[in-house]
Chain A
């Protein structure tokens, strides 16, 4: 029920390495999440992304996947993963490890400390040869990165969102492919990736988050030692910039061999008021009783799914839908008509209250899931301590949102980009 939180910097604050400790006795697992926040640039995106693949399943002590995996199995099936994601206009390379908390170990093993040692081995002590990564491992990992980029097309919903993103954020870092383009990945060399790795260690903003039952003392000591020994220079300071609205709506249609179409409509806004943004998104299309779900899906059967999601830091709301080819323009009209309804205050107080209740319930659940609570505080990592809000504090802000707030916000929202993925024949 109650999460205890503390945050500290490892070394001077301007070294840009922070540790957030989130503990709750009820949790049965311990997790370490280490984010390297890095500029998102076309020239370096693929190389930094490859680092996530390079480091996630080997280290000097366990130099091949078999010995590494066996070590994880011994630690009661602990896991370590590398990940690549966005944070507004930045690229984030994340290494995380999770295990059962020590009290469940059958023979009193210090599972958490042993897991952290392995995770630190991946990050600080990888398999190298001649001052670079192992060439053989690099070749396999490069292919993995290419396959991973290629696999986007397997899920048409994700593919449509990715393609739409390129258009919505054209000219901004947020519009750059987060793992680089396929051609960039193909052009990678082992040295390029090693250089990107060194750059992450020296210059990325580093956010370490522990979430679990209890952070063992030896783990905190290990984190302090490892991260304060890093040679840091030119530390990256991410900026949060709203995406500028386009002067006219961009419409783009792509044709592939598919039976059903996907449509992504992006709206932009400049006002900054997170609770109002969230309630607007919920009322419009964020819940199964929202205007979009009720009208576009249930009443008119135009889409199999149609929902709104918020990218607050970029000032964007996306409506993404799965739609029959014949219904594309009708769905587009109806989605816009429902926005008009919100602008005109043409929705019930009941819907507003239901949406708030839905949001409050979601906020109260955050503390029950380790990853959710870690992500909650991570989203505030660029904000000051005063600006950082707990889920409980955010509930109060949600309760205070009025219908006028929502309609006023809706009026500030403008259509920016419409991307349609459809079949080859009409």
Chain B
């Protein structure tokens, strides 16, 4: 077992990182005086990881979309009981989620932390499915997929991804499609489980008023040592240019919704934090409420306060995007692209840059307010396999205006973006 303290001078905060003999990375951030204790057990396995090989495989294998999410559902069910029933005995709130590049199982509790952690470590390491239990889940997951068909915010985003990407599985709904989940069976689930739930591919993150020794003793008892399978997961070759520049769908909405995403080259794990911070700052410089450009769009009634931006990035994808409601999405899109070209030529405003950086710093401090947010920052840092939980705050402190300008010219190509629009149904 290897143990180190990760400390940060800027905030005066610290946490412990343990590389357990089983292969698992364990991150513990002690937060005294908080009643809530939060734990997250995560694996680097999300909806995009459909093509992979381990040292036992001769060649890469590609599996149907939606398995990571399907596995998450099935692990929540033990052979004889349901995980919610187990947590009911300790008073913990359990949950799980699957994203594009990770699957996380979590709980928060006020009492019985160690018994709750025992439940978490046990069920995630103990898969149990039969053909029958796998078939039964198809109904519920099918309903979940259909539920999102009625959600215009979800649709506008995925339609944009389908426009941006030709091959990357990030464009497929995390839960898969009704066709793809029909192909999932117990064998495939076991195969993916054994590949991605290798402890070397996972992290356990804990925050709250907890006892480190107790946690590590429980880990010694519960963790099943695994052999490093040297997993490699790849995304298919992807052209640099977007597949479609415009996509439109009609749904039950009153005002059109839009997402405008820029196809940028994916970044390595080492560069990911710095690039995400730079992307967020560039998005804010271009068009957040502190920019003159936002005021122009707003005063002309082209956008309303739903207008926002985000950096959508992860294993093999990187998309800075704007979105919101607009009666004239194409005009907003043209103006944004025009503003990007202007800023590429004229540069950004130094004063606004410093203001945005200060604001970003404040938002990080605020996020340290509760164990759930802290545990989330730990799991993100752990599964990234680069840097630490303070990398974000350090990146915010170190980036310069010149970095932001360079980032803009390299990764916001106005000729390589996709506009996705949800229009109201006609005659309504």
Residues of A within 8 A of B (CB): 1, 25-29, 57, 64-66, 68-70, 72-78, 98-100, 104, 106, 140, 143-144, 147, 150-151, 153-156, 256-260, 287-289, 293, 297-298, 301, 303-304, 322, 324, 354, 357-358, 360-362, 364-365, 367-370
B290 at the interface (CB under 8 A from A): yes
Bound: A4/B307 CA distance, A:
39
By beta carbon, the residue of chain B nearest A324 is: B143
Evaluate contact between A65 and B294: CB separation under 8 angstroms.
Answer: yes
Evaluate contact between B34 and A1: CB separation under 8 angstroms.
Answer: yes
Q: Which residues of B contact A144 (CB under 8 A)?
A: 304-305
Evaluate contact between B365 and A361: CB separation under 8 angstroms.
Answer: no
Evaluate contact between A368 and B304: CB separation under 8 angstroms.
Answer: no
With beta carbons under 8 angstroms apart, the residue of A26, A153, A154 that contacts B34 is A26
Instruction: List 16 A-B residue pairs with CB atoms under 8 Å apart, sorted by A's residue number.
Output: A27-B369, A28-B366, A66-B292, A69-B288, A69-B290, A73-B355, A76-B359, A156-B150, A257-B425, A259-B146, A260-B146, A293-B84, A324-B146, A357-B91, A360-B91, A364-B111
Residues of B within 8 A of A (CB): 32-36, 82, 84-85, 88-94, 108-111, 136, 139-140, 143-144, 146-147, 149-153, 251-255, 257, 288-292, 294-295, 298-299, 301, 304-306, 325, 352, 355-356, 358-363, 365-366, 368-371, 425
Shortest distance between the CB of B7 and any CB in chain A (Å): 17
Evaluate contact between A74 and B143: CB separation under 8 angstroms.
Answer: no
Evaluate contact between A151 and B136: CB separation under 8 angstroms.
Answer: no
By beta carbon, the residue of chain A nearest B137 is: A301
Evaluate contact between A100 and B36: CB separation under 8 angstroms.
Answer: no
Bound: A140/B305 CA distance, A:
10
Evaluate contact between A153 and B252: CB separation under 8 angstroms.
Answer: yes
Q: Which residues of A contact B255 (CB under 8 A)?
A: 147, 150-151
Given A26-B34, A259-B150, A368-B34, the answer on whether A354 and B362 have CB atoms closer than 8 Å is: no
Evaluate contact between A288 and B84: CB separation under 8 angstroms.
Answer: yes
Q: Which residues of B contact A73 (CB under 8 A)?
A: 290, 355-356, 358-359
* Extra pairs beyond A77-B362, A153-B252 (19, CB < 8 Å): A1-B33, A28-B369, A64-B295, A65-B294, A65-B295, A73-B359, A77-B361, A106-B358, A106-B361, A150-B254, A153-B253, A154-B153, A257-B252, A297-B140, A322-B143, A324-B146, A361-B92, A361-B93, A361-B110
Evaluate contact between A29 and B140: CB separation under 8 angstroms.
Answer: no
Bound: A357/B136 CA distance, A:
30
Evaluate contact between B369 and A29: CB separation under 8 angstroms.
Answer: yes
Shortest distance between the CB of A367 and any CB in chain B (Å): 6
Given A26-B33, A65-B289, A66-B295, the answer on whether A154 and B152 have CB atoms closer than 8 Å is: yes
Evaluate contact between B371 and A368: CB separation under 8 angstroms.
Answer: yes
Given A256-B252, A289-B88, the answer on whether A76 and B358 have CB atoms closer than 8 Å is: yes
Evaluate contact between B151 and A368: CB separation under 8 angstroms.
Answer: no
With beta carbons under 8 angstroms apart, the residue of A153, A298, A322 that contacts B82 is A298
By beta carbon, the residue of chain A nearest B291 is: A66
Shortest distance between the CB of B376 and any CB in chain A (Å): 14
Q: Which residues of A contact B108 (CB under 8 A)?
A: 365
Evaluate contact between A357 and B152: CB separation under 8 angstroms.
Answer: no
Evaluate contact between B35 and A1: CB separation under 8 angstroms.
Answer: yes
Q: Which residues of A contact B149 (CB under 8 A)?
A: 259-260
Evaluate contact between A368 and B35: CB separation under 8 angstroms.
Answer: yes
Bound: A64/B296 CA distance, A:
11
Shortest distance between the CB of B115 and any CB in chain A (Å): 12
Given A26-B34, A304-B147, A369-B370, the answer on whether A70 and B365 have CB atoms closer than 8 Å is: no
By beta carbon, the residue of chain A nearest B352 is: A70
Evaluate contact between A365 and B110: CB separation under 8 angstroms.
Answer: yes
Shortest distance between the CB of B296 and any CB in chain A (Å): 10
Q: Which residues of B contact A1 (CB under 8 A)?
A: 33-35
User: Which of B34, B89, B305, B325 has the largest number of chain A CB atoms within 10 A?
Assistant: B305
Evaluate contact between A365 and B425: CB separation under 8 angstroms.
Answer: no
By beta carbon, the residue of chain B nearest A323 is: B143
By beta carbon, the residue of chain B nearest A297 is: B140
Query: Lowest 4 CB-CB distances: which A-B pairs, in order?
Result: A76-B362, A77-B359, A150-B254, A69-B289
